[in-house]
Amino acid sequence: MSVEIWCIAEHRGGVLDADTLQLLGAARKLGGTAVAVVCAADPAPLAEQLSTSADKVIALRHEALSDFTPGGYAQAIAPLARERQPGAILMLHSHFLGRDLGPLLASRLETGLISDCTELGWDEGLVGWRLVYRRKLLAKQKAAGAPPHMATCQRGAFMPAEASDSPGEIENLEAAIEADSLGWKVLGFEEAEVGDEDITEAEVIVVGGRGVGDQETFDSMRELTKLLGGALASTRPVVDQGWADRGLQIGSSGKTVRPRLYIGMGVSGAIQHVVGMRESDVIVAVNKDARAPIFEYADYGMVADLKEILQRLVEQLREMRG
């Protein structure tokens, strides 16, 4: 039997983060047995859901796992990993697992953690590739320390594992957790403010990047969006400038979208944005710089000033709609 690759499932409020399936896809690509590890107070429904795509599921149950805490997850996973020695442990890079659990679990296991990988492989142990120096270089990194080695995977970098007709076996285990020593207590959650459009559901998305230059130009893109019957979205700098709500951000620390049509205006095509949109059916890019990386992903590209294109598109569409 091939080596086990453990993929830590991310979930909240009983809902599985669908990108967890990308970890299972990465595990299969590594040639391993794709094992989903789910920690929860009641992991049964999630375990069942995961079993359709995983070769095996380890469901770790404890009351203290009702909310995610790095200490709780580390106490649940570390002893089992020490005992069973999986070939590698994977988790999603963004959100709480990669950021809070990854470093803690790696230190408990005294092993190496490669973060933000866009590709994984073996070379006398686990190796991972990640973009560095403003994505100008691809670094190949090797996890040092005793196995099992760990890696966090960039969202969108791996194809999700496909569902199988024969569900993976589910192993139910009671986690041994000292609830008093977690060092962390979740007091509650506040939903982030989101705009009126749900960009993950939209079939057409018009995206404003930093190139829009100001709030007024970003807002003026709403008319094009309306005429196309789509949703307005943005890159992260636009959110950081305060021109758009955080719920409109596409990318590794925002949302993943797969619209039928993506129109990016003043978007450079940084990988952190691209991982959230590259599965779009048709990608159109407008950028005044012909060397902008977004053109590598675009089906149609316009090297032009976005304001000019925006105005002409709106005029043409208004005319077409009468």
Ligand X SMILES: Cc1cc2nc3c(=O)[nH]c(=O)nc-3n(C[C@H](O)[C@H](O)[C@H](O)COP(=O)(O)OP(=O)(O)OC[C@H]3O[C@@H](n4cnc5c(N)ncnc54)[C@H](O)[C@@H]3O)c2cc1C
CA dist 282 and 290 (Å) reads: 19
For ligand X, which stretch binds (CB under 6 A), given 3-11, 15-23, 166-174, 301-309?
301-309
Residue 156 as a binder of ligand X (CB under 6 A): the answer is no
With a CB cutoff of 8 Å and minimum separation 6, the contacts of 191 are none
Residue 154 as a binder of ligand X (CB under 6 A): the answer is no
User: How open is the CA angle 170-174-177, to the nearest 5 degrees?
Assistant: 135
Among 51, 118, 252, 256, binds ligand X (CB under 6 A): 252
Residue the block writes with tokens 């691809």: 138
Are residues 274 and 247 in contact, defined by beta-carbon separation less than 8 angstroms?
A: no
Residue 25 as a binder of ligand X (CB under 6 A): the answer is no
Q: How far is the CB of 98 from ligand X (least distance, A)?
A: 10
Residue 248 as a binder of ligand X (CB under 6 A): the answer is no
For ligand X, which stretch binds (CB under 6 A), given 4-12, 70-78, 177-185, 231-239?
231-239
Residue 77 as a binder of ligand X (CB under 6 A): the answer is no
H helix runs in 145-240, sequence order: 215-228, 236-240
Among 60, 292, 298, 313, binds ligand X (CB under 6 A): 292
**DSSP state at residue 134:** T
Among 23, 37, 175, 286, binds ligand X (CB under 6 A): 286
Please work out the total of residues on this chain that contact ligand X, with binding judged by CB under 6 A: 27
Residue 225 as a binder of ligand X (CB under 6 A): the answer is no
Residue 102 as a binder of ligand X (CB under 6 A): the answer is no
Q: How far apart are the first and last CA of the chain?
A: 65
If one counts every other C-beta atom within 10 angstroms of the C-beta of residue 220, the result is: 16
For ligand X, which stretch binds (CB under 6 A), given 29-37, 172-180, 223-231, 280-288?
280-288
CB hemisphere CA count around 251 (13 angstroms) = 23
Cα-only R_g, the chain: 22
Residue 277 as a binder of ligand X (CB under 6 A): the answer is no
Binding site for ligand X (CB under 6 A): 209-211, 235-237, 249-254, 266-268, 270, 272-273, 276, 286-289, 292, 305-307
